[in-house]
Structure 1
Amino acid sequence: MSLDQAQINRDLASALSAIASAVNLDAMKQIKIDFVGDKSPLAKANQLLASIDQSQRAEFGKLIGSARAQINQAFEKKSVELSEVRDTEVLLTERVDVTLPGRRTLKGGLHPLTILTNEINDLFIGLGYKVAEGPELESAWLNFDALNIPADHPARTMQDTFFVEPLDANLVLRTHTSPVQIRTMLDEKPPIYVICPGKTYRSDELDATHTPVFHQVEGLVVDENITMADLKGTLDFFAKSIFGENVKTRLRPSFFPFTEPSAEVDVFFNGRWIEWGGCGMVNEKVLIGCGIDTKKFSGFAFGMGLERTLMVKHGINDMHDIVEGDVRFTQSFGVGNK
Structure 2
Amino acid sequence: MSDVIPQLSAYDDAALDAAFRSLIEQVQAGASSLSTAEAQEAFRLEWLGRKQGRLKLVSDVWLKTAPVEAKKALGKRFNDLKAAIENALESGAGATRASGPALDVTLPGIARRIGIEHPLTRTMREVVQVFQALGYSIALGPEVESDFYNFEALNFPQNHPARDTQDTLVIADQQGKPGRDRLLMRTHTSPVQIRTMLAQDPPLRIVVPGKVHRNDESDATHSPIFHQIEGLCVDTNITFSDLKGTLDHAMKTLFGSGVKTRFFPSFFPFTEPSADVQISCIFCGGSGCRKCKHSGWIELLGCGMVDPAVFEAVNQRRAEMGMDAAYDPKRISGFAFGMGVDRIAMMLSGATDIGLFYSGDLRFLESFA
Q: TM-score range by the shorter chain?
A: 0.7 to 0.9
Find 1:110's aligned residue among 117, 126, 136: 117
More displaced, 244-253 or 43-52? 43-52
Shift of 1:287: 1.0
Aligned to 1:318: 353
Deviation of 1:157 after TM superposition, in Å, equals 0.9
| Distance apart, 1:328 and its partner CA | 2.5
2:199 counterpart residue number = 187
Tell me the distance in 2 between the aligned counterparts of 1:163 and 1:314. Answer: 33
Distance (Å, rounded) in 1 between the aligned partners of 2:48 and 2:136: 76
Deviation at 1:11, TM superposition (A): 7.9
CA–CA distance in structure 1, aligned partners of residues 50 and 348 of structure 2: 72
- Which residue does 2:15 correspond to in 1? none
Matched, 1:48 2:65: yes
Question: Which of 224, 244, 247 is the equivalent residue of 1:232?
Answer: 244
Kindly provide the CA deviation profile for residues 266-296 of structure 1, in whole angstroms up to 9, marking residues without a partner as x: 1111232111111111111001111211111
Q: CA deviation at 1:30?
A: 11
Q: Deviations over 1:81-121 (max 9, x none)?
A: xxxxxxxxxxxxxxxxxxxxxx9985412112111222222
Which residue does the alignment assign to 1:302? 337
| Alignment check: 8 A CA contact 1:175 1:201 kept | yes
Is there any run of 5+ residues in structure 2 with no aligned partner, and where?
7-40, 93-109, 287-295, 316-326
Partner of 2:268 in structure 1? 256
CA shift at 1:233, angstroms?
Answer: 0.8
Which of 144, 152, 155 pairs up with 1:148?
155
**Residues of 2 paired with 1:210 and 1:42: CA distance?**
76
Contact residue 33 and residue 40 of structure 1 kept, 8 A: no
Corresponding residue for residue 273 of structure 1: 297
Provide Cα deviations, 1:220-255, integer angstroms capped at 9, x if missing partner: 011111111111111101111111111111111111
Task: Report percent identity of matched pairs.
Answer: 45
Question: SS of the counterpart of 1:164?
Answer: coil
- Give the aligned residue type for 2:125: N
Q: Hey, what does 1:95 align to over in structure 2?
A: none
Residue 331 of structure 1 deviates from its aligned partner by 2.5
CA contact (8 A) 1:228 1:281 kept: yes
SS state at 2:67 partner: helix
Q: Distance in 2 between matches of 1:290 and 1:230?
A: 23
Residue 37 of structure 1: how far off its partner (Å): 5.9
Distance in 1, matches of 2:118 and 2:277, equals 26
1:203 aligns with 2:227: no
Whether 1:157 aligns to 2:143 is no
Measured against aligned partners, the alpha-carbon deviations of 1:106-142 in whole angstroms (never above 9, x if no partner) come to 5412112111222222221211111111111111110
1:44-193 to structure 2, matched below 5 A, reads 44-50=61-67, 107-168=114-175, 169=177, 170-193=182-205
CA-to-partner distance for each residue in 1:45-87, whole Å, 9 max, x for gaps? 444343699xxxxxxx9xxx9xxx9xxx9xx9xxx9xxxxxxx
**What residue number does 1:19 align with?**
none
Q: Report the secondary structure of 1:332's partner residue.
A: helix
d(CA) in 2 for partners of 1:225, 1:10: 101
Equivalent residue, structure 2, for 1:330: 365
Q: CA separation in 1, counterparts of 2:123 and 2:2?
A: 82
Would the aligned equivalents of 2:248 and 2:261 in 1 still touch at CA under 8 Å?
yes
Q: Tell me the residue number matched to 2:311.
A: 287
Gaps of 5+ in 1: 1-6, 13-23, 54-60, 81-102
Distance (whole Å) between structure 2 residues aligned to residue 46 and residue 110 of structure 1: 66
- Decide whether the 8 Å contact of 1:8 with 1:42 is kept in 2: no
Letter in 2 for 1:229: S
Normalised by the length of structure 1, the TM-score is 0.73
TM superposition outliers: structure 1 runs of 4+ over 6 Å? none
- Do the aligned partners of residues 104 and 35 (structure 1) sit closer, same or farther apart at CA in structure 2, a change above 3 Å counting? closer
Q: Secondary structure of the residue that 1:158 maps to in structure 2?
A: coil
- 1:222 maps to 2:234: yes
Relative to structure 1, is the Cα distance of residues 40 and 181 closer, same or farther in structure 2, using a 3 angstrom cutoff? Answer: same
1:44 to 1:192, Cα distance in 2 relative to 1, 3 A = same
Partners in 1 of 2:62 and 2:297 — Cα distance?
98
Q: Which sits farther off after the overlay, 35-44 or 129-138?
A: 35-44
- The amino acid of 1:321's aligned partner reads L
Indicate how the Cα distance of structure 1 residues 35 and 121 shifts in structure 2: closer, same or farther if over 3 A, else same: same
CA distance in 1, matches of 2:354, 2:4: 81
**Structure-2 residue corresponding to 1:17:** none
